[in-house]
């Protein structure tokens, strides 16, 4: 300190026992703790006296009683100098006290009251970092009072300067200081960021995250903070959040920052990011997946995922392409083949769907194999289709044996045509009919048991309702009579015109596949109704057939069922054989349900309605009959 000119300073030596200093320095005040010497402290005093002997009063020079200042002295300057001198003396006194307390601390390292007092003096001297360190030590005391005072003092003096002082030398203490400071000042942006960076340096990214999140709230336009959050998310395996955060950084006014964000986003274009975004940001996840496929088109997982995404968006045609690529990448992946089958089926390409399910049925996974076979059954009949849409061909046949007359009767209809409307509600076609039996011969009844003819017609079918299997039809052509009939067949060829309404409906359990022999009751039934005009007979004939029953035995593609049948006929010309009703039990055997063929055995009792028939009824009003029939429908 620079002194005023002419000012005389007389220095007096300190004549006091160090033990006295120690005791007095530990007296309690509002900022310090009370200290009472104990037996242990007596030893401390003795030790201090030995290290610091008392001064000899004889060596103290006499202090002059009258000392006049030399030269002119400004009163104001003189007052300032006195105050400054007083502060220096106080600081010097505290420094001297500190020296003795540090010596005492070395002698009694477990006396936390000394550590607390050392912290007090460091704090008074403005050395807050050292004070903080001492308070931290004192906070480990078993004395609750000392603990509370130490922690309170640490909280009071905590600041960024202390953090910076300990940041490299004592990271643990630095973090403690900074946390205490943040607790006092939670909205201090610098402190939040400093804690975040400090933890990142210690490779504690997850612990750093909440501090940067708080910092982001305090400074929502600070893109450096957003970028740092992006890197933290990336390092903590949260790629989706990282991608979103870097996406925010793209709005930064700084071009370099934006470029870094784009680069970081490109590095996050992978499946992990996709999965992370999939649930919360599906549109963004799809973009990530699309970019990843541009980089890795042969990535099987990505191709499958894009396929599923497009299916969810009902874009089956686009999904199909991705699953076809996936199939090429993994030709033995039967789940992909099954998925292709589902897509083809949804697209109405049932034949392709059937054969994909057939491939999937070879899977070693028993569950997938069985499910694929069930899917094949649901598409049964589509596998035989040959003609491309909208063209079609089909054949219906129902040969049967009638023991009542020992007669074999065949009936077949073949059609080939085109669907005019996309939903197949309007069809035009050409058709061939063939009907013949083994017992009929030339002559009058009863030698004629069935119609025997071949006809070639053209016609159309129209389904007026989308969900009701009722259609109207009209056909015209030429018929050739295989057996002459004096009642109906005047010539070997006849003009053939027919038209009317047809209805066919099935209900109950769908056909299925069972891996094991299964006994179970599965309800099923069907109804057929027809009312048509036939120019060859100049007659309108109606027929209704109801079968109601159940399947009870199933194994693989085969099944056996039982039913009760009601079958009735009527016509406008009142021929007796066209006015009857039959009823009785039947057995339905399906040998292979992938092809629509049924073997039927039926026992019926018939009743002829009393009508004014142009031909006499030679059989009576009641009859018993049985049938052995093969009934099938196949489309091409």
Percent of the chain surpassing pLDDT 70: 84
User: Distance (Å, rounded) from C-alpha 549 to C-alpha 557?
Assistant: 19
124 CB-near residues (< 8 Å, 6+ apart) = 94
3-state secondary structure at position 176: helix
Average pLDDT over every residue of 311-339: 97
Mean pLDDT of 295-324: 96
Q: What is the mean pLDDT of residues 429-450?
A: 77
pTM of the model: 0.68
pLDDT value of residue 178: 93
Q: Give yes or no for a contact between 265 and 247, defined as CB atoms under 8 angstroms apart.
A: yes
Q: Do 574 and 541 contact (CB within 8 A), yes or no? A: no
Q: Which DSSP state fits 18? A: H
β-bridge mates for residue 555, sequence order: 558
Whole-number Å distance between alpha carbons of 392 and 385: 8
**pLDDT, averaged across the chain:** 85
Positions of CATH 2.40.160 in the chain: 391-635
Residue 421 has pLDDT above 60, yes or no: yes
Question: Which tens digit of pLDDT belongs to each residue from 29-46?
Answer: 333 333 333 333 333 333
Residue 553's pLDDT is 98
**Residue 507 predicted with pLDDT over 50:** yes
Q: Label residue 594 by pLDDT band (50, 70, 90).
A: very high
For position 434, what pLDDT does the model report?
97
Rounded distance, CA 627 to CA 596, Å?
Answer: 19
**pLDDT at residue 101, rounded to an integer:** 87
Residue intervals in the chain for CATH 1.25.40.10: 297-379
Question: Mean pLDDT, to the nearest integer, of 372-391?
Answer: 95
- What is the arithmetic mean of pLDDT over 506-522? 96
Distances from the Cα of 139 to the Cα of 25, 145, 182, angstroms: 20, 10, 19
CATH of domain 391-635: 2.40.160
pLDDT tens profile 443-486: 544 456 788 899 999 999 999 999 999 999 999 999 998 887 66
pLDDT category of residue 490 using cuts at 50, 70 and 90: low
Provide the 8-state DSSP code for 489: B
Contact 392, 416 (CB under 8 A): yes
The pLDDT of residue 219? 95
Residues 243-248 have a mean pLDDT of: 94
Please report which confidence band the pLDDT of residue 83 belongs to, taking 50, 70 and 90 as the band edges.
low
- The whole-number pLDDT of residue 84 equals 56
Please tell me the CATH code under which domain 297-379 is placed: 1.25.40.10
What pLDDT is recorded for position 487?
61
What confidence tier does 91 reach under pLDDT thresholds 50, 70, 90?
confident
> What is the three-class DSSP state of 385?
coil
- 417 membership: H or E segment, kind and range: strand 407-419
Overall average pLDDT of the 590-610 stretch: 96
Please tell me the predicted confidence (pLDDT) of residue 98.
Answer: 86
Give the pLDDT confidence score for residue 138 in this predicted structure: 86
107 pLDDT band (50/70/90 cuts)?
confident
* pLDDT-wise least confident of 13-27, 130-144, 337-351, 491-505: 13-27
pLDDT for 140-169, tens place per residue?
888 999 989 989 998 988 888 889 989 889
pLDDT of residue 420: 94
């Amino acid at each position: 300190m620079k002194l005023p000119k002419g000012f005389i300073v007389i220095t007096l030596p300190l004549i006091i026992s160090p033990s006295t200093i120690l005791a007095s320095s530990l007296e309690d005040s509002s900022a310090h703790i009370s200290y009472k010497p104990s037996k242990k402290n007596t030893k401390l005093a003795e030790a201090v006296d030995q290290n610091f002997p008392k001064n000899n009063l004889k060596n103290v020079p006499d202090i002059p009683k009258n000392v006049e200042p030399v030269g002119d002295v400004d009163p104001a300057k003189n007052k300032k100098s006195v105050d400054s001198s007083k502060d220096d003396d106080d600081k010097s006194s505290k420094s001297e006290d500190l020296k003795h307390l540090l010596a005492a601390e070395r002698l009694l390292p477990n006396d936390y009251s000394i550590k607390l007092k050392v912290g007090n003096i460091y704090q008074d001297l403005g050395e807050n970092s050292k004070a903080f360190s001492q308070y931290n030590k004192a906070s480990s005391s078993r004395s609750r009072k000392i603990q509370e005072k130490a922690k309170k003092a640490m909280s009071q003096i905590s600041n960024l300067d202390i953090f910076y002082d300990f940041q490299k030398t004592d990271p643990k203490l630095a973090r403690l200081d900074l946390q205490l400071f943040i607790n006092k000042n939670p909205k201090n942006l610098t402190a939040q960021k400093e804690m975040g960076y400090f933890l990142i340096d210690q490779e504690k990214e997850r612990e750093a995250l909440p501090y940067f999140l708080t910092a982001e709230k305090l400074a929502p336009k600070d893109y450096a903070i957003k970028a740092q959050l992006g890197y933290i998310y990336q390092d903590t395996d949260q790629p989706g959040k990282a991608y979103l955060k870097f996406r925010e950084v793209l709005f930064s006014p700084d071009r370099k920052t934006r470029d870094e964000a784009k680069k970081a986003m490109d590095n996050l274009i992978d499946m992990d990011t996709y999965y992370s975004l999939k649930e919360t940001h599906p549109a963004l996840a799809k973009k990530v997946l699309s970019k990843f496929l541009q980089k890795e088109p042969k990535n099987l997982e990505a191709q499958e995922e894009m396929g599923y995404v497009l299916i969810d968006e009902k874009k089956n045609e686009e999904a199909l392409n991705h699953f076809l690529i996936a199939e090429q990448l993994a030709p033995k992946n039967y789940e992909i083949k099954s998925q292709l089958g589902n897509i083809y089926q949804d697209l109405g390409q049932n034949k392709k769907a059937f054969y994909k399910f057939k491939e999937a049925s070879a899977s070693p996974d028993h569950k997938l194999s069985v499910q694929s076979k069930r899917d094949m059954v649901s598409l049964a009949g589509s596998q035989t289709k040959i003609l491309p849409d909208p063209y079609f061909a089909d054949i219906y046949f129902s040969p049967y044996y009638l023991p009542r007359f020992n007669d074999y009767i065949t009936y077949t209809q073949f059609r080939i045509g085109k669907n005019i409307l996309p939903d197949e509600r309007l069809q035009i076609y050409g058709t061939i009919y063939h009907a013949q039996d083994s017992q009929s011969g030339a002559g009058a009844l009863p030698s004629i048991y069935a119609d025997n003819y071949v006809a070639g017609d053209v016609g159309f079918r129209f389904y007026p309702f989308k969900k009701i299997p009722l259609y109207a039809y009209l056909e015209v052509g030429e018929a050739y009579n295989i057996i002459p009939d004096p009642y109906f067949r005047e010539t070997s060829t006849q003009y053939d015109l027919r038209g009317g309404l047809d209805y066919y409906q099935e209900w109950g359990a769908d056909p299925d596949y069972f891996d094991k022999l299964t006994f179970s009751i599965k309800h099923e039934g069907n109804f057929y109704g027809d009312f048509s005009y036939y120019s060859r007979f100049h007659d309108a004939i109606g027929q209704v057939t109801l079968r109601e029953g159940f399947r009870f035995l199933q194994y693989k593609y085969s099944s056996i069922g039982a039913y009760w049948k009601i079958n009735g006929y009527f016509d406008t010309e009142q021929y007796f054989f066209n006015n009857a009703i039959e009823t009785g039990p039947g057995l339905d055997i399906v040998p292979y349900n992938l092809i629509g063929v049924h073997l039927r055995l039926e026992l019926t009792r018939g009743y002829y309605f009393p009508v004014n028939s142009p031909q006499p009824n030679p059989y009576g009003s009641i009859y018993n009959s049985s049938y052995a029939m093969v009934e099938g429908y196949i489309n091409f």
